[in-house]
Amino acid sequence: MNITGAALIMRLLERQGIGVIAGIPGGANLPLYDALRGSGIRHVLARHEQGAGFIAHGIARVTGRPAVCFGTSGPGATNLLTAIADAKLDSIPLIAVTGQVPRAMIGTDAFQEIDTYGLTIPITKHNYLVRSAAELLEVIPDAFRVAMSGRPGPVVIDVPKDVQSQTVDVDALPAPGVADSRPPLDASDVTRAAALLNGAQRPLLLVGSGIIAAAASGVMRRLAETASVPVAATLLGLGAMPAAHPLFLGMVGMHAARYTNLLLDECDLLVALGVRFDDRAVGKAAAFCPRAKILHVDIDASELGKIKQPFLGIEADVGEWLRAMLPQVAPRRRRAWNTRVRQQRAAYPLAMPGADDPRQPYGIIRHLAAIAGDDVVIASDVGQHQMWVAQAFPFSRPRQWLTSGGLGTMGFGLPAAIGAALAEPARRVVCVTGDGSLLMNLQELATAAEEGVNVTLVVLNNGTLGLVRQQQQLFYGARYHASHFHAAPDFAAIARGFGVAAYDLNETDDPMTALTESLRRPGPCLINVPIAAEANVYPMVPPGAANRDMIDDTNANGGMHADLSA
C-alpha cells in the first residue's frame, strides 16, 4: 500500500493500542493532524504543550501503559520538555511525537526550528530524528519497545514535516513493539538473599515505584506477611501496600512520620525493592540505615551502588525476583522486632493537627478520603499539599496516587488528573493542589471543561508558595521573600469562567456538604479551601541532614537547624 508518513504513524500508534493522544497542532505537525482526523484515535486538545505532556502522564501513570503526546516544532517541543524530563525521573513510559521543520531547512534557523533531538538527549531513554517515512516502520515499534523495556521511561520521536507528507510503499506493517525479555534471574542470588532475610532479626522492606511498575505489590505483600517484615514506602511507592495494613510504616524520608525514619535507623537488613535512594527519601545518604546490610533489587543495574553500596545488589525484575524468593522465605513471627515497631509507632506517631476540621489541611484530606472511598484516584501538585496528602491519605492500591516525585513539577496535577480521568472514566479523579501550583497549568481548566472529565480540584489555598515560605521560616531566619502572593485570585470565579463548577469554603457554613457535592457531581469541579499561610508540613528533615534529625513544631526555631550545604 502507498501511505504517507503521517498516516503510517497513526496506523502504527493504533496497533500499539493507543486510544487517546493529547496535543496541540502547529505548522510542523499539520500532516500528522490531517492523518489523526481520519484515524480511530481520540485527540484531546490541550491548551499548552506541557499540559498535553502531563495529560499523557496521567494516562500512563494510571494504566501502566505507554501514552502519547503531540507537539509541533520549536516552542511546541520546548513546552513539552518539562513533562518529558518528569517522565525520565519518575520512569514513566511517555512517547512524545514532535513536528520538525522540513529536512531541507534543518540547520538554517528556520521558523520554529529548534534542535529537539539535541535538547531531549539528557531527558529521554532514547530519541529519534526520523529521516525518511520508511524509517517509521522501525522507529515507532522501537520507541514503544524502549519506553516499556526494563525501567520504563520517555522517548521522543522528532519527525520533519516533509517526512510526514512523504509517501512510502509498505508491503506489511511491522509487529507492534513489545518490552524486551527480562534479565535472567540468578538462582544463587535468590538463595543468598533468602538466607539474608531468614537470618535477619530486624529486617525492613523499602518499596518504591519499581514495585508498582513491575505489578509486584501482591507478591511483595505476601512476602512481608510470611516473614512478618514491616514495609516502608517512598513517595512514589505509596499504594504498593495498603495504608491500613498492620505491617505498613508509611512514607520514608523528609516528611515521614518520625517513627518510620527511626525504625529505618534500627533495622539490620534493608530490603530495597525498586527504589533509587533519592535524597528526599534517604536524607544524608551516609547516615541512612546505619545498622543495616542493604539488599537492593532493581531492574536498572546502574542504580545498584549509585548512592548506597549494597551488601547484595541484584539486577532483576522485582516481581519475578519476589516470586522466586517467596518459597525460600521462612515463615517467622519476629515478635521482638514487631513489638519494637509497635512501641515506636505509639511513641512517635504522625501528628495530624486539625484532622477533624475540613477547613484545615489534614482535615480536608481525611474527610475527602472518607467520602471518596477506595475507588478514587488522587493526583497532586507539588508542595505542602503534596506532602500532607502523602502523609494522610490512606492509599489502598497501586496506581491510585499520581504525583511528580523526582522532578517535583508544580503544574503537574490538573493535566495529570485529566489524563487519568480520560483513561479511567468510571472513577472520580481528585487533584489536590495549591494556589501556587494550580496557576502553573491553569489553562487546562478549558481542556477539563471541554472533555467533561470527572475531575475534582481541591485547592488548598494559603496565598503563598507554602513550602518555600516554610523553608524561609525554618532555615533563612524567617526572612520571607517572594513566597507570598499579594494578589488573591478568586479561584471559584475563575473556574466558573472556564465553564467548570465551583465551590468556595469561604462562602459556606457547611463545608462537608460542599466537599461531598464537589466529589459526587459529574464533570469537572473545583473547591477552594482557604487555609492558614502559617501551616507547616511536619516533621521535616532539614535538607542535607540525616533522617533521624527531624524537626517539628515543638523544636522548629528559625535558623537553628540551617544546614544549607544541600
Partner 1 sequence: MQTFPHETDTTATTGSRSGAVLRLLVRNHPGVMSHVCGLFARRAFNVDAILCLPIGDATCSVVLLMVDENERVEQLLRQLRKLEDVIEAEQAPAARRAFAAVAEWMR
In angstroms, the CA 412 to CA 418 distance is 10
493 binds partner 1 (CB under 8 A): no
Q: Is 146 in the site for partner 1 (CB under 8 A)?
A: yes
Q: Which of helix, strand or coil describes residue 21?
A: strand
Binding test (CB under 8 A) with partner 1, winner from 1, 121, 370, 566: 121
Largest CA distance in the chain: 73
**Cβ closest to partner 1, residue 117 vs residue 259:** 117
User: At closest approach, how far in Å is the CB of 126 from partner 1?
Assistant: 4
Rounded to whole angstroms, the Cα distance separating 261 from 254 reads: 9
Query: Which lies closer to partner 1 via its Cβ, residue 163 or residue 369?
Result: 163
Beta bridge partners of 159: 99
Walk across the sheet containing 155-160 and list its strands: 42-45, 20-23, 67-71, 94-100, 155-160, 126-129
Among 126, 293, 323, 340, binds partner 1 (CB under 8 A): 126
Between 255 and 296, name the residue whose CB sits nearer to partner 1: 296
Binding window for partner 1 (CB under 8 A); candidates: 12-20, 121-129, 183-191, 205-213: 121-129
All three cell numbers of 270, joined, read: 534493608
Alpha-carbon gap, residue 382 to 433, rounded angstroms? 8
Nearer to partner 1, 196 or 307 (CB): 307
Considering only 17, 38, 40, 118, the residue that binds partner 1 (CB under 8 A) is 118
86 or 444: CB nearest partner 1: 86
Give DSSP secondary structure letters for 63-94: HSS-EEEEE-STHHHHHHHHHHHHHHHHT--E
Q: Is the CB of 121 or the CB of 330 nearer to partner 1?
A: 121
Query: Binder to partner 1 among 3, 6, 84, 129 (CB under 8 A)?
Result: 129
> Residues 6 or more apart from 491 whose CB is under 8 A from it?
435, 438, 459, 461, 502, 504, 526, 528
Residue-wise DSSP of 218-233? HHHHHHHHHHT--EEE
For the bound state, the minimum distance from the C-beta of residue 9 to partner 1, rounded and expressed in Å, comes to 20
Positions 275 through 314 that interact with partner 1 (CB under 8 A)? 300-302, 304-306
Which of the stretches 90-98, 119-127, 239-247, 370-378 binds partner 1 when contact is defined by CB under 8 A? 119-127
Question: Residues 6 or more apart from 384 whose CB is under 8 A from it?
Answer: 361, 434, 460, 462, 466, 467, 470, 535, 536, 537
C-beta closer to partner 1: residue 73 or 470: 73
Applying CB under 8 A, among 108, 122, 169, 487 the residue interacting with partner 1 is 122
Q: How far is the CB of 405 from partner 1 (least distance, A)?
A: 19
SS3 string, 137-162, reads HHHHHHHHHHHHCCCCCCEEEEEEHH
Q: Which of 117, 395, 491, 503 binds partner 1 (CB under 8 A)?
A: 117
Q: Which of the residues 162 through 191 are near partner 1 (CB under 8 A)?
A: none
Cβ-based nearer residue to partner 1, 4 or 127: 127
Q: Which stretch binds partner 1 (CB under 8 A): 114-122, 243-251, 261-269, 349-357?
A: 114-122
CB of 118 to partner 1, least distance (A): 6
State which residue, 307 or 439, has the beta carbon closest to partner 1.
Answer: 307
Other beta carbons within 10 Å of 52: 30
Q: Shortest approach of partner 1 to residue 79 CB, angstroms?
A: 21
The C-alpha angle 270, 276, 282, rounded to 5 degrees, equals: 65
Query: What number of other Cβ atoms are within 10 A of residue 115's Cβ?
Result: 14
Looking at the Cβ atoms of 302 and 506, the one nearer to partner 1 is 302
Rule CB under 8 A: is residue 135 a binding residue for partner 1? no
Say how far apart CA 62 and CA 348 lie, in whole Å: 33
Smallest gap from Cβ 234 to partner 1, in A, equals 21
Sign of the Cα torsion 234, 237, 240, 244 reads positive
Candidate ranges 84-92, 123-131, 452-460, 520-528; the one touching partner 1 (CB under 8 A):
123-131
Of 366, 334, 348, 347, the closest CA to residue 247 belongs to: 334
Query: Among residues 125, 221, 255, 345, which is the contact residue for partner 1, using CB under 8 A?
Result: 125
Strand partners, 127: 156
Per-residue binder mask for partner 1 (CB under 8 A), 218-247, x = binder: ------------------------------
Residues whose CB is less than 8 angstroms from the CB of residue 48 and which lie 6 or more positions away in sequence, other chains included:
24, 79, 441, 443, 444
Which residue, among 29, 257, 46, 272, has the nearest Cα to 157 in the 3D structure? 29
Binding site for partner 1 (CB under 8 A): 117-118, 121-122, 125-127, 129, 146, 300-302, 304-306
